[in-house]
């Protein structure tokens, strides 16, 4: 791993978030004393509370007790591993159970490690550090696999996964979800006139401008193909989507990239918008709707959002 990746992993470790799940307050206090000065800890006293936290604010690692009333640790872990949005969260079981078949049940449930109570501080810290390091390295590799090689924004593969996750989240929380399809106007002519190298540079600048326009960490932009980009805007209704679309157009216009073959004389974009409002049909194909609106924007003069 190169120096930059090592630095990123170190920074991630310093900001790592761990969820401790145990129905006994004394056990939570013990873990807090061992790890509280190294990581950001959250606590849950039941399996259901742990699931709620994972779905709303996913931790980087879970330390899970096995024996809990109602929803036990094994069942909770199985649910996590079968929920796509949170299935990558590593689960370490900490339990008083010591039989081999009980340990095996932890592995079968999807746990990555198993520690017997009472745990010693040094082994716990070492194991937590090792599992977090592996997790952050895997996250980094996945992120690199999800980036578009030219523009460094997300690629279509990531877009598909993210849109699926956010649609499920919107449905679960009854929130709106919006999508923008952004297309650079007359880009083929721009390519032909100014050459591919210069056009690629301006494509990068456009992608960066779109990315900077998006204010919230949950808002993402991905390259859809060619000169098309897609923005996913969670918890955003029609008015919010329209505002973001207009901001994107204004910021790209502010770049003042000359395009003498365009009637606008500068590089502009057309944008198609699509929104699922709260409690509506979350099975709606946002990409198809945004593409339809983009086509209309292009057919009616371009440099506009519909």
Residues labelled catalytic? 227
> Residue 198 has which token pair?
């210069």
Q: What is the largest distance, in Å, between two alpha-carbon atoms of the chain?
A: 76
Rama region for 129: left / alpha / beta (φ>0; ψ in -120 to 50; rest): alpha
Measured CA to CA, the distance from residue 285 to residue 163 in angstroms comes to 10
Q: Residue 230: phi, psi to the nearest 5?
A: -125, 135
> Residue 291 has which token pair?
């593409």
Q: CB neighbours of 265 closer than 8 A, spacing ≥ 6? A: 258, 259
In this structure, are residues 234 and 175 in contact, taking their beta carbons and an 8 Å threshold?
yes
The number of C-alpha atoms within 13 Å of 179 and in the hemisphere containing its C-beta is: 27
> What are the C-alpha distances in Å from 139 to residues 5, 10, 236, 265?
11, 13, 27, 42
């Amino acid at each position: 791993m190169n120096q930059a990746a090592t630095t990123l992993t170190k920074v991630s470790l310093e900001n790592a978030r761990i969820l401790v799940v145990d129905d006994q307050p004394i056990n939570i206090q013990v873990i807090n004393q061992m790890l509280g000065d190294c990581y950001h800890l959250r606590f849950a006293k039941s399996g259901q509370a742990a699931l709620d936290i994972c779905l709303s604010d996913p931790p980087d690692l879970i330390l899970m007790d096995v024996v809990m009333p109602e929803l036990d640790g094994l069942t909770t872990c199985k649910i996590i591993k079968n929920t796509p949005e949170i299935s990558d969260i590593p689960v370490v079981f900490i339990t008083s159970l010591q039989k081999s078949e009980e340990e095996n049940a932890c592995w079968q449930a999807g746990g990555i490690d198993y520690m017997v109570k009472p745990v010693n501080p040094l082994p716990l810290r070492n194991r937590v550090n090792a599992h977090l390091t592996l997790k952050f390295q895997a996250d980094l590799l996945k992120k690199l696999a999800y980036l578009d090689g030219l523009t460094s924004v997300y690629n279509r593969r990531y877009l598909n996964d993210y849109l699926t996750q956010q649609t499920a989240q919107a449905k679960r929380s009854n929130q709106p979800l919006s999508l923008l399809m952004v297309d650079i106007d007359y880009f083929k002519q721009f390519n032909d006139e100014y050459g591919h190298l210069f056009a690629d540079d301006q494509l990068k600048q456009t992608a960066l401008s779109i990315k900077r326009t998006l204010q919230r960490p949950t808002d993402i932009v991905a390259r859809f193909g060619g000169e098309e980009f897609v923005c996913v805007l969670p918890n955003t209704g029609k008015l919010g989507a329209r505002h973001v679309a207009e901001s994107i157009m204004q910021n790209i216009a502010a770049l003042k990239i000359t395009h003498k073959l365009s009637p606008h004389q500068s590089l502009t974009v057309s944008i198609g918008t699509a929104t699922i409002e709260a409690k509506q049909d979350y099975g709606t194909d946002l990409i198809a709707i945004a593409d339809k609106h983009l086509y209309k924007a292009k057919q009616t003069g371009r440099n506009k959002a519909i």
